[in-house]
């Protein structure tokens, strides 16, 4: 694991009477030897003080002081997400998103602590064109900091809110990129478990990036199941709701629910409260609007099979089976992965700092990282050992880093269908909401 290491330069003193010769500066420095003999060097020379910085510049020491707060992008019970500018060290002036979590809130629940560590580890280990990149991770006495690439295109949620519904070609593009991202996670034994428009961000070029890995589960390979009851209700697979054990097939159900949402303006199963929504997911009839093409109808039906073994993507082929469906017949998957396919929407941004694609409820707030005055016990802090991280790309440039109760989804203003009311998730950190 790449990390920031602090190197202490210490001089080891020898014991008296061991017969070691007395050290003279002239022994190690030809310049000092010349001066001792009364000679001065000819020509220009520069004296350099030997310090930790000059001898071993090494990885920079990253902390909150390295970043200037620009805007609030999201906010929740566990902390905030800021747009920030790097003002010290490598990548000076670069814009990032800084996700700040309060340790005291996290350590109250063992699952919150475990999932926070899992999110940090997944962000370090998973590198993919359609998954958000982690640049740095560090901590103070009372807070955890994740420095992520700033995805200035905003949430897919916002695009859907503004458009109402997507044309099938537009939906196909986004679903294709998400399919590749989910397939990569699954190949690493990771299930995502919280796919929804709020957790799909757009880059400045309009490509998707999955964010918020707080509900992911690691080490789920073929034949393995897990039983945690988590997710966002409207997108949760029935096997999670009935607690029968679930695997990576739950992500394909969620992708089906997201596809339905893109093409119709709401998820397939919604009601006025949590219980009724869950009942519909478990036993309700899937109603498809008549304007969907046959390929779109067929794919939605195959995603939303209640039996996970019959669900498209639920077998050993995983994402490869999804990619073969006729709905994606016009997709060149190699070009898509290389981001050579033009997105259907490119955000209109005036500068790197433009936050016009984010909710003004947050961006108009004064960005303040509240004082870190919480003192955690030594045992509590042990849970966050190894959190510090610097991305390999940053290291290379130096050489030349919850509540897990199911969430209810927020209604979109343009959608008149009944939806469970709840405050919307913040930026790419909905795990910050209680």
Q: How many CB atoms are located within 10 Å of the residue 158 CB?
A: 19
List Cβ neighbours of 18 (8 Å cut-off, separation of 6 or more).
none
Radius of gyration of the chain (CA): 26
79 belongs to an annotated ligand binding site:
yes
3-state secondary structure of 234: helix
**Residue 394, marked binder:** no
- Residue 75 in marked binding region: yes
CA distances from 229 to 239, 281, 403, 411 (A): 10, 15, 12, 22
Residue 13, burial from CB neighbour count under 10 angstroms (0-12, 13-18, 19+): exposed
Residues 85 and 89: their CA atoms lie apart, in Å, by: 12
The reply to whether 255 sits in an annotated binding site is no
Ligand-binding site membership of 107 (annotated): no
- Greatest pairwise CA separation for the chain in angstroms: 98
- Candidates 6, 8, 169, 194; catalytic one: 194
CA distances from 311 to 139, 246, 255 (A): 42, 13, 11
Tokens in use for 10? 């210490």
72 has binding-site annotation: no
> Residue 226 gets which letter from DSSP?
B
> How buried is residue 92: exposed, middle or buried, by Cβ count under 10 Å (0-12/13-18/19+)?
exposed
Please list, in sequence order, all residues whose beta carbon lies within 8 angstroms of the beta carbon of residue 129, skipping any fewer than 6 positions away.
180, 207, 337, 338, 339
Q: By CB neighbour count within 10 A (0-12 exposed, 13-18 middle, 19+ buried), where does 140 fall? A: middle
Residue 78 is assigned to a ligand binding site: yes
Contact 145, 100 (CB under 8 A): yes
Contacts of 151 by beta carbon, 8 Å cutoff, 6+ apart: 97, 132, 201, 202, 203, 204, 209, 211, 428
* Contacts by residues 182-186 (CB-CB < 8 Å, ≥ 24 positions apart): 182/210, 182/251, 182/252, 182/255, 182/319, 183/318, 183/319, 183/320, 183/322, 183/323, 184/126, 184/128, 184/130, 184/131, 185/126, 185/131, 185/210, 185/216, 185/251, 186/248, 186/251, 186/318, 186/319
Active site residue 194: yes
Distance, in Å, from the CA atom of 428 to the CA atom of 163, rounded to the nearest integer, reads 20
Q: Collapse the DSSP code of 11 into the 3-class scheme (helix H, G, I; strand E, B; otherwise coil) and give the result.
A: coil
Token readout for 149 is: 């690439």
Which residues are catalytically annotated? 194
Binding residues for ATP: 73-81, 99
Residue positions in the annotated binding site?
A: 73-81, 99
């Amino acid at each position: 694991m790449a990390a920031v290491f602090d190197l202490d330069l210490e001089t080891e003193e020898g014991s008296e009477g061991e017969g070691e010769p007395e050290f003279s500066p002239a022994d190690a420095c030809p310049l000092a030897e010349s001066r001792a003999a009364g000679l001065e060097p000819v020509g220009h020379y520069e004296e350099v003080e030997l310090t930790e910085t000059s001898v071993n510049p090494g990885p920079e020491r990253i902390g909150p002081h390295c970043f200037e707060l620009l805007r609030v992008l999201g906010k929740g019970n566990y902390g905030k997400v800021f747009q920030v500018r790097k003002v010290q060290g490598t990548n000076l002036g670069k814009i990032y998103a800084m996700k700040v979590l309060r340790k005291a809130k996290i350590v109250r629940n063992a699952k919150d602590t475990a999932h926070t560590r899992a999110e940090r580890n997944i962000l370090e280990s998973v590198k993919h064109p359609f998954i958000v990149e982690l640049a740095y991770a560090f901590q103070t006495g009372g807070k955890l900091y994740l420095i992520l690439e700033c995805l200035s295109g905003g949430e897919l949620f916002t695009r859907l809110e503004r458009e109402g519904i997507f044309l099938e070609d537009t939906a196909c593009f986004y679903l294709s990129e998400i399919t590749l991202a989910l397939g990569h996670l699954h190949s690493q034994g990771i299930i995502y478990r919280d796919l929804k428009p709020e957790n799909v961000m757009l880059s400045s070029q309009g490509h998707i990036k999955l964010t918020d890995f707080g509900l992911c589960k690691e080490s789920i390979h073929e034949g393995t199941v897990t039983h945690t009851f988590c997710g966002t209700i409207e997108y949760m697979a029935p096997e999670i709701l009935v607690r029968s054990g679930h695997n990576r097939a739950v992500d394909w159900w969620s992708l089906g629910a997201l596809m339905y949402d893109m093409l119709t303006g709401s998820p397939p199963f919604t009601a006025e409260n949590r219980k009724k929504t869950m009942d519909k997911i478990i036993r309700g009839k899937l109603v498809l609007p008549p304007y969907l093409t046959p390929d779109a109808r067929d794919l939605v039906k195959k995603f939303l099979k209640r039996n996970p073994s019959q669900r498209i993507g639920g077998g050993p082929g995983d994402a490869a089976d999804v990619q073969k469906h006729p709905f994606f017949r016009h997709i060149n998957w190699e070009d898509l992965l290389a981001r050579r396919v033009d997105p259907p929407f490119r955000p209109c941004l005036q500068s790197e700092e433009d936050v016009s694609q984010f909710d003004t409820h947050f961006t108009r707030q004064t960005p303040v990282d509240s004082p870190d005055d919480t003192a955690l016990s030594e045992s509590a802090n042990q849970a966050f050992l190894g959190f510090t991280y610097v991305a390999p790309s940053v290291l290379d440039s130096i050489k030349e880093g919850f509540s897990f109760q199911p969430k209810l989804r927020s209604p979109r203003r343009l959608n008149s269908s009944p939806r469970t009311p709840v405050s919307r998730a913040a930026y790419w950190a909905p795990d910050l909401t209680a």
